Amino acid sequence: ISFNSVDNALSSLKNCQSYIDTGMHIATHVALDLVESFNDVEDINSMENVMLEYAAMDRELNHYMTAVEETVNQIKREKPEVLPDLKNLVKEKFTALESKNSDSDLQRNEKFVYFKDQLKEMRKQYNDNEAIEQIDEDIAVTQSQMNFICPITQVEMKRPVRNKICGHTYEEDAIQKIIQTRKQQKKKVRCPKIGCSHADVKESDLVPDEALKRAIDSQNKQ
């Protein structure tokens, strides 16, 4: 049995997934712009709802692709003499997957988690700066600059990435070089932040810290 047409359909669905990813990326940036512009909380909440809608689309698409892949694998395994109704088999598996849906699934979506995390960091940057500036402008600058320094290069970060496990930030190129070097030596990477006990930094644990980058850019403009 040839499954070329099914493979082509799956390939098209994966392209759709890239559009969802792009939409979530744009929504995250818009929400950060709103925080930076001190916009109404309602506007920011509306972007959160947009993200949840994207997360729902992402879940539905993933379930459909899983249903198709499982159906194809089942037929390849069983090798029936008469080809069953693919459409019905896929529909059954898809319905079974969708029946297990819950709101918490959407909250756990990786890009939604990143969205919430960056919003929190962005608000923290602005609230911290406001609080410190009310005390002493020089302290505010010093405090900000300390947060902006990479623990590896000891210079201000240009492309900060944050470790999802321990929460520390590093210059992207610097931490990537360490990871690659250690990988060649077949050794684990300890978090370069002094005092951190995390001893296994992985490339997959690193995410761009857009909130911190914006704070650094804003400080430099001033």
**Length of the chain counted residue by residue:** 222
CA max distance for the chain: 80
Report how far residue 60's alpha carbon sits from residue 96's, in angstroms, rounded to the nearest whole number.
12
User: What's residue 124's pLDDT?
Assistant: 80
- Quick: pLDDT tens for 55-103: 999 999 999 999 999 998 898 888 888 878 888 999 999 999 999 999 9
Mean model confidence pLDDT for the chain:
87
CATH number for the domain whose boundaries are 145-220: 3.30.40.10
Confidence of residue 5 (pLDDT cuts 50, 70, 90): confident
Q: Which of 114, 118, 119 is nearest to 21 (CA)?
A: 114
Predicted TM-score (pTM) of this structure: 0.74
Beta strands in the chain (DSSP E): 160-163, 169-171, 206-208
Residue 102: φ, ψ to 5°: -145, 160
